[in-house]
Structure 1
Amino acid sequence: MSLKVRMMAWWQGYDPADVEKLLARKAALQQSNVPEDPPKPPASPAKPAPDVSPEDLELPFDPWDSNRVEIAQYIWGEGYCGPGGPEHVISVSKLLALSPEMSLLEIGANLGGPARTLADKFGAWVTGYETSERLVKLANEKSLMAGMAKKADIKHFSTEEIDSFGRNFDRAFAKEAFFTIENKARMMGLVEAHLKPSGLFLMTDFVLGSDNVLGKESYRQWRESEQEKRRPFMVTSAELVDLAKKARFNIRVSENITPTYIDLINKAWAGADKVAAQLSRQEDGDALLQALLKEAEFWSLRRRMMESGDLQVWRLLASKKSEKPSMMSNW
């Protein structure tokens, strides 16, 4: 079965093996001139959930190997590991009102694409934190090559072990980073503690569509699938807002941006067949094509969860409460 057909099968939610059987059956029937019954969509999920316990998923490895890093940039753009390139990052970050005098803390910096975009567009001084050592190394190499080593500096950290970011910042930003953090309350409080008075915190993150999703088999399969490289620790949008409030943040914006996010995924993968054709001509094309297929499966599974409403992408803008009481509080 061709690469294009395999990718289309995954993207439409079918198991490529089942589709391949259907195609073989169709070819056999055509050769024998036997009338064919209308084909039925395969009943099995795109990929059965592995027979493992959730604890088995937290292995001490870096999910970002060199092939996956290369494929991510083919699909999402230079320096990016997921949906939303420079234009999207600039658009959502306008809420932060950044300026050249400001410093920005970023949680989940990946390859440093958003950090360099914000430093270049708004002149801000960005310090990013990332859990993947490979991505940190590559991100700083890219910042150095772009002449932005100081303005977009990426550091390695452990979300469960870090207890200080070393300094206070004017702004904070987290792009789909909190959903893999188990102790969200602790990290939310750490960000708040390292923001200057009246500082702003902008985050986009995956959340559950409702509490009922937790009991669904489709959710269990997604959460425990090998496609999710890090185990997600999910909350609803209401719970995420509540965590921010308990960390002493004022909520300024709370909105569902799932349709926009799905559109970003669809537009990026629309040219996947051209990427595949380009990769096939490279010396290491076979390995990169396999990485492309895995990434396609990874994002098609997430997209289906979002289209069903079980998974949403939420945007929050929160402000740190002033350390001094306002004049209004005395009235």
Structure 2
Amino acid sequence: MSELIIEVAPPEPGGPAAGEPARGSLARLKARAKRFRAALVAAWQEPEHEPMAPPRLAAREDLPPPEMAAEAEAQGGLFMARADWADRLWDAGFCGPGGAQEVLRLSSLLPLSPATTLLIAGQDSGGAAAAIAAQRGCWIAFHQHDALTAQFMTSRLSGFGKRIAVQPWDPARPGFRANFHHHALGLEPLLSNARPEAFCQAMGHALKSGGQFVLVEVVQAVAGAPDPAFERWLALEGREQPPPPRPQLEAALQKAGFQIHVAEDASQRHCAGIVEGFARLVTGLRANRPKGAESVNALLAESEAWLLRHRLLASGRLALLRWHASRRTSVR
């Protein structure tokens, strides 16, 4: 039987420019998202589980503990300062637009409960893990490839005890506990290694039969000529290779034993979130300006990276896609 893929496409040409929704549409989108999230959380929520208020995640200036100092220095001050600005752009612990609202929207697609385990891999500094654990009550294994970020996450998430475990992984040789997790969430996990085949295979082996997988990832929508802006964006995001084309990633998912049910182009929502985040940041800068050359340089680098991402998504060179898939009973 052929697989059913439901395409959720961006608006037709002639509407508002990508990333620039018509006046009032962003407010309506927020209202719909809030109602949608509330309805899904209520539908999936176990009767005996009451959502907890997540512990307030510590600001980075309150960390690290002394044992992190040497590694933090090795990473470089600019790296740390950019991480501080990312916290201010998207809220503490988050690494992209939408913050807790977007993460809970994604996790609401999975049947999570206090009796399930969720494997998360990708871009986060503790915000996504905290929001999902607090709202859904599930057990989380978060695989973080960056050792320093993992230590920050462990400190920030200590209030959850054993409910959230921050574990290392190597994107070049991904491996997760086999046939253990009920469901999985990928938050741009290929940023640090753009070859999807090994990652999808590892994810397929990690999930129990019938386990569901929500994956958010940047892909190349069209192949383009050499472009200085594209190369600059790769460098600013720390990418050693360009993102994979969409067909390559979808083929890797299917070969790993996943049946794709939904494929959504979330580029426009992502672009709108970038604009919203920077509008909020600029307002805050009037009262709290960056201090020192390092902080200024970090703000410029972080801003350039996100504005280039916005430009490449809006132009159609890149796309941000969300897939909802399930693991078949048997995996090739």
TM-score (norm 2): 0.72
User: The residue matched to 1:105 in structure 2 has which SS?
Assistant: strand
State the 4+ residue runs in structure 1 displaced beyond 6 angstroms: none
1:244 aligns with 2:244: no
User: The residue matched to 2:162 in structure 1 has which SS?
Assistant: coil
> C-alpha distance in 2, partners of 1:269/1:177?
24
Deviations 1:112-148 (A, max 9, x none): 211111111100111111111111011111101xx21
- 1:162-181 correspondence to structure 2 within 5 Å: 162-165=174-177, 168-181=180-193
1:96 aligns with 2:110: yes
C-alpha spacing 1:89/1:62, structure 2 compared with 1 (3 Å): farther
C-alpha contact 1:140 1:149 (8 A) present in aligned 2: no
1:256 aligns with 2:256: no
- 1:222-233 correspondence to structure 2 within 5 Å: 222=232, 224=234, 226-233=235-242
Structure 2 partner of 1:272: 281
C-alpha contact 2:191 2:239 (8 A) present in aligned 1: no
> C-alpha distance in 2, partners of 1:260/1:76?
15
C-alpha spacing 1:179/1:291, structure 2 compared with 1 (3 Å): closer
1:308 aligns with 2:315: yes
Deviation for aligned residue 1:218: 4.9
Deviations 1:67-92 (A, max 9, x none): 12211111110111222210111112
Code of the aligned partner of 2:120: E
C-alpha spacing 1:170/1:62, structure 2 compared with 1 (3 Å): farther
Structure 2 partner of 1:217: 227
Code of the aligned partner of 1:207: V
Quick check: 265-274 or 286-295, which moved more? 286-295
Code of the aligned partner of 1:180: S
Among the aligned pairs, what percent are the same residue?
24
Give the one of 129, 137, 142 matched to 1:123: 137
Deviations 1:176-199 (A, max 9, x none): 122432431111001100100100
C-alpha contact 2:195 2:244 (8 A) present in aligned 1: no
- 1:7-18 correspondence to structure 2 within 5 Å: none
Deviations 1:149-199 (A, max 9, x none): 312221222111343436610001111122432431111001100100100
1:320 aligns with 2:298: no
> C-alpha distance in 2, partners of 1:261/1:73?
17
Code of the aligned partner of 1:121: Q
C-alpha contact 1:168 1:194 (8 A) present in aligned 2: yes
Give the one of 159, 162, 168 matched to 1:156: 168
Deviations 1:191-222 (A, max 9, x none): 10010010011110001112x33x34256534
C-alpha contact 1:245 1:251 (8 A) present in aligned 2: yes
> C-alpha distance in 2, partners of 1:62/1:107?
24
Give the one of 191, 195, 208 matched to 2:207: 195
Structure 1 partner of 2:196: 184
Deviations 1:208-249 (A, max 9, x none): 112x33x3425653465x312232442222222111001111
TM-score (norm 1): 0.72
Superposition CA RMSD, Å: 2.3
C-alpha spacing 1:166/1:116, structure 2 compared with 1 (3 Å): farther
Structure 1 partner of 2:122: 108
Between 1 and 2, higher relative CO (CA 8 Å, sep ≥ 6) is seen in 2
Deviation for aligned residue 1:102: 0.6
C-alpha spacing 1:182/1:206, structure 2 compared with 1 (3 Å): closer
Corresponding residue pairs, total: 258
C-alpha contact 1:107 1:173 (8 A) present in aligned 2: yes
Q: Which runs of 5+ in 1 are unaligned?
A: 1-59, 325-331
Q: Which runs of 5+ in 2 are unaligned?
A: 1-73
Structure 1 partner of 2:297: 290
Larger Rg: 1
C-alpha contact 1:110 1:132 (8 A) present in aligned 2: no
